[in-house]
């Protein structure tokens, strides 16, 4: 007998508020032995304070999948919209524990 995996269709529901999305311009990543926490933050221009708009907590295996999906999508985006000379790495903010409440 052959092992055939059943392909089940997953119906993903998206309510109207979530579909609107949330703009962020900073992300902080933390992890422990079993999970990663991704904090999506909005920093106002000229501001010295920021607010976490969303926190996503997930497993290391999901992070690997997220990284692969982001790399694939970024590559596709850059092929279509970005010239080689415009490809720069963004600045990385260092956030100390004292600043992050």
pLDDT tens digits, one per residue of 50-90? 999 999 999 999 999 999 999 999 999 999 998 876 666 66
Give the angle 82-27-75 at the CA atoms, nearest 5°: 25
Please state the separation of Cα 6 from the chain's center in Å.
Answer: 30
Reported confidence tier of residue 3, pLDDT bands at 50, 70, 90: low
pLDDT tens digits, one per residue of 10-30? 999 999 999 999 999 999 999
The answer on pLDDT for 5 being more than 90 is no
CA distance 62 to 73: 16
Domain spans of the chain? Answer: 24-84
**What is the mean pLDDT of the segment spanning 89-99?**
59
């Amino acid at each position: 007998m052959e092992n055939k995996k059943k392909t089940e269709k997953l119906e993903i529901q998206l309510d109207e508020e979530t579909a609107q999305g949330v703009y962020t311009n900073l992300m902080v990543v933390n992890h422990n032995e079993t999970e990663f926490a991704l904090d999506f933050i909005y920093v106002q221009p000229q501001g010295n304070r920021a607010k976490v708009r969303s926190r996503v907590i997930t497993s290391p295996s999901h992070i690997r999948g997220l990284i692969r999906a982001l790399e694939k999508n970024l590559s596709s985006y850059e092929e279509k919209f970005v010239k080689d000379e415009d490809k720069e790495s963004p600045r990385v903010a260092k956030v100390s524990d004292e600043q992050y409440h």
